[in-house]
Amino acid sequence: MYQKKTIITIQHTESVHHTNGMIGSWNDWPLTEKGIQQAENIAANLKSEFRDTKFSVYTSPLSRTSQTADIIGKQFNVVPQSATALKERYLGRAVGQSVQWLKDNIEAEERSIYDKCFSDAESRFDVWQRLISFYDTIIDSADENIIIVSHGDTLSIFNTMWLGLNVEALNSMDLYGVSGGVSFLYQTEIGKRIIRRMSDTSYYKSKAI
């Protein structure tokens, strides 16, 4: 018998790096004013839908994710727990540079999950390796209702784990979302894994509640 679980994953809302042409990665960009409003809308809409549900909330420690998580946590009266494993992929010497600089100076094309765009960067396999322990912990935890706030590439890898695929699957497919997207993952009492809605952006829009 498996434990039923509801896991809501949220890709952080609009950040400054979405507007200035800079790389995200481990740069500690905050949310824009638009991003703050998007996070507030997500929080209000989720609270309306899950009014009496108690959630555990986990977040990447980077500002754009922790800001998003803090706004959501306030709606559910819970303090988010920071997890380094949820950080975005580290891009080495490209951190602090523009997207154009990366394109002009990239050292190696990433053809597989083991490749790195720069020698001091993380590969996608590296992200899988640091994420798997966190993933196992929340799957084995007694928590039935969980909210995770993270980044696009990291959540793509998380989704792959959720569906029981191995790391090599990422060489031929991806499960990407978009900024502000909300996904709903469920585990049934017989262990079936479901992604019912993926990267739903309607939650960051204001609704009549």
DSSP for residue 103? H
Integer Cα distance of 29 and 18 in angstroms: 9
Where do the domains of the chain lie, and which CATH numbers do they carry?
5-90+123-204 (3.40.50.1240)
What pTM, to 2 d.p., does this model score? 0.96
Return the pLDDT at 209: 46
Helix or strand (DSSP H, E) at 56: strand 56-59
User: Above 90 in pLDDT, residue 2?
Assistant: no
Is the sign of the CA dihedral 87, 17, 152, 100 positive or negative? negative
The pLDDT-based confidence of 114 (bands split at 50, 70, 90) is very high
Q: Which two tokens stand for residue 127?
A: 């992200």
For residue 208, what pLDDT is reported? Answer: 46
SS3 content of the chain, % helix, strand, coil (to 5): 40, 20, 45
User: In what side-by-side order are the strands of the sheet with 81-82?
Assistant: 81-82, 56-59, 145-150, 5-11, 182-187, 193-200
**Residue 206: per-residue pLDDT:** 84
